[in-house]
Structure 1
Amino acid sequence: MFDVPPSEPVPFSETVIEAPGPEGVLQGTLVLPQNRTKPPVVLIVPGSGLIDRDGNMPGIQAATYRRLAHGLAAEGIGSLRIDKRGLFGSARAIRDPNAVTVKDYAADVVTWIGRIEEVADPSCVFLAGHSEGGLVALAAAGKLPSLSGIILLAAPGRPMAEVLEAQLKANPANAPFLDEAMAALARLKTAERFAVDTMPPPLQLMFRNAIQDYWTDLFSYDPAVLAGRVSQPLLVVQGMEDLQIGETDARALAGASDRAELVLLPGVNHMLKPVAKSGFAENLAAYGDPELPLAPGVVGSIAAFVAASCDG
């Protein structure tokens, strides 16, 4: 399946909307195609760290979620892309953006689904979680029986501690402090807290005290187990040039559900951008190129899944 540009652009509206958060508002951007009434709507759940609703983060202007939203609109599919509680447009939702759990993020997803149903009058609603957002989507799915389907984009299929261990081992630059990093991960898995001031600077940032509670909470989830509990249709999309998540993860997720569809995309990286089979540096450079479109097949596979799964 490939993303074929329509002969004429499909007009769409793009509106900032809000939803109630714990202490202040959550904020997102709703995109609705204007060529159909009661369109299906996809809630795009962002990945880890300081990533905004458009899919940008400090030093990496990938615009993945904005491009996904606009690509779906061209297929007659609406979307809502959101800022996580405590960050960017949702900064007022909580005082401390580090004082969060997967359960908190999942609760916000449930809130946003309610808002979509209020303001968009959709024919059906889907969750699309990217990277760590895939885990959040799976955690929320059990509380959303009315969902028409769940879409996992470059999502982990193992507990995140295992994913981080593999990522750290794969980068030769981590060799001088790899043993210390593995020991820190082991301590976090048992909810042990520790000072980081004597660690090498990269580990001080990764394991800083403010986010140790979040790491421990995150490590307690097994995405494949959650995928096995999903009753709705499940689409797993995985790029074959992903430096962070791999085919093994995608197959674990798809294999957990008898309603799953697996799409493996050659030449696609973690941010769903096209890359040649090249080195680490070239792959990372594609992360931060806002002019680089999404890879062929990304929007098309999602649009086909939505069309097949939507009851409306």
Structure 2
Amino acid sequence: MRMVDASRWIPPTYADPATFAERDISIGSGDFAVPGTMTLPQIDGLRPGVVLLSGGGPFDRDGTVGPNKPLRDLAWGLASRGVAVVRFDKITHTRPEVMTDPGFTMTDEYLPHTTAAIRLLQETQNVDPARVFVVGHSMGGKVAPRVAAAEPSVAGLVLLAADAEPMQHAAVRVLRYLASVASSPEVDAMLAAVTRGAAVVDSADLSRETPATELPFGMSGAYWLDLRHYDQVATAAALPQPMFVLQGGRDYQVTVDDDLARWRAGLESRTNVTIRVYPADNHMFFPGSGPSTPADYEAPQHVDPTVVTDIADWLARH
């Protein structure tokens, strides 16, 4: 175990590095093991634990975007409030070549390492094995219900800006938005390409053999078939575990109207689901004002402190 060294990075004001320690861990085995970090509060007695999942793309354990590390914000903020946290580099970060495997899917991208991380936390001294939760951001939130279905010991789910609209449709919508606020030949060309690819994903002709060059973001036919056959809202609705769904009001990637509306409709009959909107927050839950754009991520900032407090309070109640 090592004490936290904050000399190279300024932590958010809601994190107190003196209250926890971190150690390096390995998740998985063999060539597909990935490095990670366990953050443990220095308190006596059993504590809840969470496994953090980053969004779609080759993210590291901190969810690094520009100069920002939103998953480290969450890990340090929650650990300062008595929650044990595991986060890890995605396999697509440590071994980007897996994305060229024609059989690679979202399930392969997330489930093996997430379930291994859950079990590691459950076996960690002073972590309550009955209170290990999954906290997923964006695609990490989308896949979280599949994780809980595969690993019923998960105590509950926290879904941060979890997308519910089919990803190929969301990609077209996002690029149309970007073209409206900052049009450029590059954005227009990408919009045209993704629109063509989305039509292929929607077609009855999509198969594992469909060339990745014809599909959005160069992802394989198998990857898109896995996404197309997965209904995250229906999967979540069938789970018994409590859930906390958080959404930024300024998020243009996962939106209140297109995504949160689907979560609300699908989970409306559940009595153990909490849904909360943070009007000033963007996709990374960074507070701000005005229309959100990719430029939001270029300046150093931190996850909304209210979000961290609300998650910690929700965990304490469950």
Q: Which residue of 2 aligns with 1:136?
A: 143
Match of 2:98, SS?
coil
1:96 aligns with 2:106: no
**Which residue type is aligned with residue 220 of structure 1?**
H
How do 1:1-312 residues align onto structure 2 when only pairs under 5 Å count? 5=14, 11-21=19-29, 23-57=31-65, 60-88=66-94, 91=95, 96-99=98-101, 100-104=104-108, 105-123=110-128, 124-172=131-179, 173=183, 174-175=187-188, 178-190=191-203, 191=206, 193-194=210-211, 196=213, 206-208=216-218, 211-248=220-257, 249-257=259-267, 258=270, 259-276=272-289, 278-280=290-292, 283-289=293-299, 291-309=300-318
> Alpha-carbon deviations, 1:38-89, whole Å to 9, x = none?
21111001111121111114xx23200001100001111111111112423x
Classify 1:265/1:25 alpha carbon distance in 2 versus 1 (closer, same or farther; 3 Å): same
Identical-pair percentage? 30
**Which residue type is aligned with residue 78 of structure 2?**
L
Larger relative CO (CA 8 A, sep 6+): 1 or 2? 1
**Which residue type is aligned with residue 107 of structure 2?**
K
CA separation in 1, counterparts of 2:14 and 2:298? Answer: 23
Segment drifting more, 114-123 vs 153-162: 114-123
Classify 1:81/1:176 alpha carbon distance in 2 versus 1 (closer, same or farther; 3 Å): closer
Cα deviation, residue 154, structure 1: 0.7
**Which residue type is aligned with residue 270 of structure 1?**
H
Classify 1:120/1:167 alpha carbon distance in 2 versus 1 (closer, same or farther; 3 Å): farther
> Alpha-carbon deviations, 1:226-249, whole Å to 9, x = none?
221221000001010112011131
Classify 1:118/1:264 alpha carbon distance in 2 versus 1 (closer, same or farther; 3 Å): same
Cα deviation, residue 119, structure 1: 2.6
Cα deviation, residue 180, structure 1: 4.6
**Which residue type is aligned with residue 35 of structure 1?**
I
> Alpha-carbon deviations, 1:11-44, whole Å to 9, x = none?
1011111132463322211101102332111100
Cα deviation, residue 109, structure 1: 1.4
Match of 1:251, SS?
helix
Match of 2:39, SS?
strand
Unaligned runs of 5+ in 2: 1-11
Report the TM-score when normalising by structure 2: 0.81
Match of 2:263, SS?
helix
Match of 2:283, SS?
coil
Contact 1:165 1:182 in 2 (8 A): yes
Match of 2:58, SS?
coil
Corresponding residue pairs, total? 288
**Which residue type is aligned with residue 96 of structure 1?**
V
CA separation in 1, counterparts of 2:316 and 2:212? Answer: 51
Contact 1:151 1:234 in 2 (8 A): yes
Unaligned runs of 5+ in 1: none
Classify 1:255/1:296 alpha carbon distance in 2 versus 1 (closer, same or farther; 3 Å): farther
CA separation in 2, counterparts of 1:55 and 1:239? Answer: 17
**Which residue type is aligned with residue 151 of structure 2?**
L
Report the TM-score when normalising by structure 1: 0.83
